[in-house]
Structure formats: structure tokens, C-alpha cells
Structure 1
Amino acid sequence: MIGLLELLNANFDIFDNRKKKQFIEMIFTSAHKLQNEMLNILEWALSQAQIISYSPEPVELKILVEDIITLLKQVIINKNISIELKFEEKIFAFVDRRMINTVIRNILANAIKFTPQNGNIVINCLLSNLRTVQITITDSGVGMTPQQIEKAFDKNEFNSTYGTNNEKGTGLGLKICHDFVLKNNGSINITSKINNGTSIILNFPVCEDRIENDSAPQNNETDTNE
């Protein structure tokens, strides 16, 4: 990121507006990735030290997911990825808001990282029963081997794989997700095939007194090109 800033500064009067915009977008993307990695390192350290407290509350999942998409919007636009939201109804989970925000942010960031240009990601949310809400995040990316799936949640494995645009990470993301999901009395599973995308399935306790059975089904696609 510093190298990009130095290059932009040295050539600011030479570059046209299109080139300047391109550099600013690259700097923004690099800054976002650095921020995400630093958050992961901090949250992992706090979690391992058992400093983070579990404070569940009713969380409306559609609003939470939309806020995360907004946070990641520039990265989504840079890869021209389509994000489709399929929410069965207005669903509230009974979870720790900060932890679940971290979980979904990391899973969606991973989906973007391993999905090629012009790919797509679908986020599906439904009540699997009266006590459980299920969120499935499916991408059209490069997929995972059985060995990668087996080691994804292993706290002793920190191998990070390059993304489709050579994005690099810390290897902490899914481990934090696994840790936080368990702290919220949930479950996390991965299904994937090489070159055929990945689905990550999350289950959390539903906030039973906030279920709105009379809500109409929603199928909203996020326009990432605005």
C-alpha cells in the first residue's frame, strides 16, 4: 500500500484522472485487506485469551448482512461480483452481534477472495426449524480440496492460499469463524469441490419471540455496479 501511495505521489501531475482513480481504488482495496487482517489478528488474540465476552441479543440478519456488503462494496465492484440475497423472511438470530458480524464478514471476504472476476455469490437465510436459523453463503469460486476443508478449522494450521487476484491473507479467518460460531451455540460446515465453488453453512439459535411468520418471502439482488 505504501508503494502505491509513493508511486501515485511521485506521478500525480503526470497521471490522468482515470489513472489516479485506478490507483486510489487499489490503495482502498489494500487498506481494506490490511484492516481486515488486523481485525482478525486482534480478535483471534482476544478470543484465545478468553477476553471477549458472549453477549447475545436479537440480531436482524438481513440488515447485518447488508451492512457487511456495504463495507466490502469497493472490493466487490473491483472484481465485478454479483451478490444475491435470498431471505425467507425477516429473521432474528439470538447471537452476539460483534461475533456474528466477524463470522459473516470473514466468510464473505473469503468468498470474494476466491471468486474470479464476474463471478457470483448467493447468501441464503431461512428458518430450518422453529429453533434454528440457517445462513448459507455460496460462491462460484475455485473451491477447496477435502484436505483444505479438513484443516480449515484446525488451530495449528495457518496456511493461507492466494485468491484469484493474488490476494493474500493470514489464514486466521475460518478459525475465528469456527471459534465464534461455537461460542454462539451454533454450527459451521463446508461443502466444496475444486473449480465448482464453495458453500459455508451456518446454524444459529433463532430469537423465537421475533419470528415474523407473516412476512412475504424476499429475493433481493445487490447491484454492485452503482
Structure 2
Amino acid sequence: MRKESIVKKQMLQYITTILICVLILGGILSVVYTQHYMKEKRNELIQQGRKISIAFTNAYRTGNLSNLSYELQVLEEYMGAGILMVNADGVVVLASPGLDEMMIGQSFAFQDLVEGVKEGNIVSSERKATTIFDVPTLVVGYPLSVGKMAGIFMCRSMPEMEQSLYQMYQVGVASIFVVFLFAILFSYLTSRKMTRPIKEMNDAAKVIASGNFEHRVEITSNDEFGELAKSFNHMAESLQNNDKTRRDFIANVSHDLRSPLTSMQGFLTAMLDGTVPLEKQEKYLHIVLEETLRLSRLTEGIVDLSRAESSKIILDESDFDLNEQIRANINLLEPQLNEKNAVIKAIFADQITMVHGDIDKISRVIQNLLSNAVKFSPTGGLIEVETTKTDRKKVLVSIKDHGIGISPEDQKYIFDRFYKADRTRNQDMQGSGIGLAIVREFLQAHNEGITVKSTQGDGSTFVFSLKMSEE
């Protein structure tokens, strides 16, 4: 399938829009200018008629009419219009040199106009070709109330005026054509400039699709394209981090699988070949059992995360006492607490805090967060758990430790699957980086959220919300 260029599409849109606007504007201007031009020519003829009327009146009063024919000739050449003087009977008594002398003594062809000027009106009309005027003619009549005269009629050829208009239109069309060429060039340059960021992002997407997640696009503006470039770079950074965490996860899971499997294989081989005495086999069988439980927890976590990310979490919701679940999970951590000589202090908003949700999954959330708090607390450390009610019928659960804290850079990704912060990796060799991802997915399945606030060297605080029971 042939690829269509966005530059070409945009140019065609620009050119089509400009062309339509030019045609509409040209048509309107043509009509308006033609009407204006014809009105101006009528006004010119009327002004000249007024001058002839004054000149004839003065000549008539002084009795000096000898120079009148010469003045008519001059005016005819100046205006490009023939001049007729018609008496009250509608008979032509005087004609300018450019007109046929046979018209003198003949009745004027347009008697309706004669009646108009006899009433003292200025008249004008566009007439078709006649035996007198062989081309369409613009006739303007000006009243002349001297003696037995009716008026002065000025006749100008319409084709001559249209020819002048045509020449002006030619100049106008040529100017518009030049402007249109510049508009096409400007449209092309503008389209190229506007689509360049999209092309760059398209090229960058191909590079990233090939596996090079380090590629970025340059941000050159603060408009929507700049925002798109920022989002694109953020996406590329997320893909790069996801790829890194994926590789780290594979390495960590490989280590977590290899270690217990190697240990189990060694102990079982030793028991089968008789290396381990019968009285010590029970001890090593317990070790093998612990390793299988460890593998089971790892695979269960991966399966839970896979289900969560595919939106296949099924919630078995009910009302339960949140305080009771927190106490139960604190009791489960007693061996770890004793090992670190750490203490968990719980502060509850009420003696009984009823919430609505899936008790097993919320318990898993509490267990993961408390386990992490104990894991990263110093020896003899204090872990604080507190519940708070809000005016939106929510309960906020805060779990705070005073451990090593989380860097601002790591805080962006700690809820991503398989992510393990570099500073925790050496202390959490058995972790797979999916605990917090599962916590987030379980809470999102309840339409709830979780946040973290942390300062390096001063511990971390995780806060999540739950819906209060309606009863």
C-alpha cells in the first residue's frame, strides 16, 4: 500500500483552503469593484454634465455659443463619451464631433430618459445596442433648463469600460497568482516545520522498536509538539527501565531458583547415597521443605502478578475488622522481629475499624508492607502502624519504618514489576522485586491507591486507603 506523506496532506489542505478563500474573495471583490467602477464612471459623467450645463447657461445668456462645439470636443476626448443636447421635444439639437452629425434634427432614441430630465431628474441607464449606438452604451442625462432645452446626454461605450476593467482584472489576477505561489511555498515550509517533530519521533520509535531504548528525541518547543516529545522521551525512559528491571528480574529469579534447587539436589543426593546418617536426615528434610516453600512463594507471587496485570483478579469482598488483620500479620512477623530485636507499634483510630474488601488480598498487602518494613529496619528499630479515618468514608493505613530510606530516583519505580532498588539488592537477596507490584495491583483492584514518602537515611512511610464498611 502506498504511503501518504503527512506533509503532502497538510499542504493540500492549506492550498485547498487558500484557493477556496481566494476564489470567494475574488468573486466578492470582482462584483463589488465592478459596481464601484460603474458608479464612479456615472458620477464622472454627471459631474461633466453639470459643467456643460453651467457652460451652456453662461453662453446662452451672453449669446456667445460659438465656442460650445469646441468645449464639447474637448470634453468628449477627455471623458471618452459622446455628448448630445436634446430639446424639450426630444430632438437632438447638438452633438459632439465624435458622434454622427446625421443625429442632429432626429428624435433621441431614449425618450423615457428625455422625460426624466424634463422633470428635473438626473437619469442613467445601460442600454443595449441600437441603430444609433451599435454597441451597448451607458447613457447619463443631466437636466438643462435653459430656453427650450430638455437636457444633456452623455453616452459612453460599455465594451470600452469593460476593457479597462478587464485590464485591471488581469493585473489583479497576476498579483493574486504571485501571492498564491508564495502561499504554496509558505505552506510547504510550514508543513515541513510542523511535521518534522512527528517524523523525528517516528524515526525514534523505529529505533526503540529495534531494541535501542536509550534513543531520545530533541525537545525544541514549548507547544503541544514539545509536550508530545516529553511524553515520548518519558515513554522511552520507562521502556528502558522496564527492560532493565526485566533483565534484573531474570537474573534474580535465576539466582533464587538455582540456589534452593542446588541445595535440595545436594541434600537429597547425600541422603540417597548414604552420606547423611539416618539420625540427621530429618534435619535436612526440613531444610528441603523450607526451600520448596520458598520456591512455592516465588511462583505464587509471579502468578498473582500475572493475573493482576491481565485484569483477572477476582475479589471476594466482605466487611471485616482491619485492626484484627493488622494484629494477625504483626504476630506472623514475630520471628523476624525477635531476630532484629525490632518493635511494631500500632495506633488504631477506633477499637474496631470495619472496612469493605477482599480480606485475603488486603491481608497480603499488609503482610508485604510490614515484612518490607521489618526487613529494612535497623536492629532495634521501631515500626509504626497507624489507621486514620477521613471525611470521604475512607480509612488510611500508614506503615512507617526508620530504615535506610528510598532514593527519589528509586521512588519513581518501586511499584513497577521486578524492580529492585540498587541500595536494597544486597540486603534482599531472596526478594524478586514483585512484592510492591502485587500490593499496588491488589489495591487498584479495590479502586484504591498507595503512596510512599521517604528520606534517605530516615526511613520510609507507605500509605494506602480502604473503603469503610457501610454498616
The TM-score range, normalised by the shorter chain, is: 0.7 to 0.9
Which of 182, 185, 207 is the matching residue for 2:447?
Answer: 185
Equivalent-residue separation in structure 2 for 1:31 and 1:82 (angstroms): 30
Which of 188, 208, 215 is the matching residue for 2:470?
Answer: 208
Superposed, 1:54-203 pairs within 5 Å as 54-89=315-350, 90-129=352-391, 131-155=393-417, 158-159=419-420, 162=424, 167-203=429-465
- For the 8 Å contact 1:114–1:164, the answer to whether it is kept is no
- Could you tell me which runs of 5 or more consecutive residues in structure 2 were left unpaired when the two chains were aligned: 1-259, 268-274
CA RMSD of aligned residues (A): 3.2
Task: Give the paired residue count.
Answer: 200
CA-to-partner distance for each residue in 1:38-59, whole Å, 9 max, x for gaps?
4422321222343320222112
Equivalent-residue separation in structure 2 for 1:33 and 1:121 (angstroms): 25
- For the 8 Å contact 2:362–2:442, the answer to whether it is kept is yes
Q: Displacement of 1:130 after TM fit?
A: 5.1
Q: Displacement of 1:84 after TM fit?
A: 0.6
Equivalent-residue separation in structure 1 for 2:290 and 2:427 (angstroms): 12
Change in Cα spacing, 1:118 to 1:12, as seen in structure 2 (3 Å) is farther
Equivalent-residue separation in structure 1 for 2:413 and 2:398 (angstroms): 20
Q: Displacement of 1:68 after TM fit?
A: 1.2
CA-to-partner distance for each residue in 1:145-181, whole Å, 9 max, x for gaps?
11111111234x5235537855530111111111111
Q: Displacement of 1:183 after TM fit?
A: 1.0
Partner of 1:217: none
- For the 8 Å contact 1:116–1:141, the answer to whether it is kept is yes
- Could you tell me which runs of 5 or more consecutive residues in structure 1 were left unpaired when the two chains were aligned: 15-19, 210-226
- For the 8 Å contact 2:402–2:459, the answer to whether it is kept is yes
Q: Displacement of 1:101 after TM fit?
A: 1.2
- Which of the pair is proportionally richer in helix? 2
CA-to-partner distance for each residue in 1:5-26, whole Å, 9 max, x for gaps?
95xx969999xxxxx9xx9xx9
Name the SS of the counterpart of 1:51 in structure 2. Answer: coil
Larger radius of gyration, structure 1 or 2? 2
Equivalent-residue separation in structure 1 for 2:427 and 2:364 (angstroms): 23
Change in Cα spacing, 1:36 to 1:106, as seen in structure 2 (3 Å) is farther
Partner of 1:40: 301
Change in Cα spacing, 1:131 to 1:27, as seen in structure 2 (3 Å) is farther
Name the SS of the counterpart of 1:196 in structure 2. Answer: coil
Change in Cα spacing, 1:110 to 1:33, as seen in structure 2 (3 Å) is farther
Q: Displacement of 1:76 after TM fit?
A: 1.6
Q: Displacement of 1:93 after TM fit?
A: 1.2
Equivalent-residue separation in structure 2 for 1:86 and 1:164 (angstroms): 32
TM-score between the two structures when normalised by the length of structure 1 = 0.74
Change in Cα spacing, 1:186 to 1:166, as seen in structure 2 (3 Å) is closer
Equivalent-residue separation in structure 2 for 1:66 and 1:193 (angstroms): 27
- For the 8 Å contact 1:106–1:174, the answer to whether it is kept is yes
Paired letter, 1:128: T
- For the 8 Å contact 2:413–2:419, the answer to whether it is kept is no
Paired letter, 1:66: R
Paired letter, 2:360: R
Equivalent-residue separation in structure 2 for 1:31 and 1:201 (angstroms): 33
- Which of the pair is proportionally richer in strand? 1
Equivalent-residue separation in structure 1 for 2:359 and 2:403 (angstroms): 28
TM-score between the two structures when normalised by the length of structure 2 = 0.38
Q: Displacement of 1:110 after TM fit?
A: 0.9
- 195-204 or 160-169, which deviates more: 160-169
Equivalent-residue separation in structure 2 for 1:72 and 1:184 (angstroms): 25
Equivalent-residue separation in structure 2 for 1:139 and 1:206 (angstroms): 25
Paired letter, 1:144: I
Name the SS of the counterpart of 2:456 in structure 1. Answer: coil
Q: Displacement of 1:95 after TM fit?
A: 1.1
Identity fraction in percent: 22
- For the 8 Å contact 2:313–2:445, the answer to whether it is kept is no
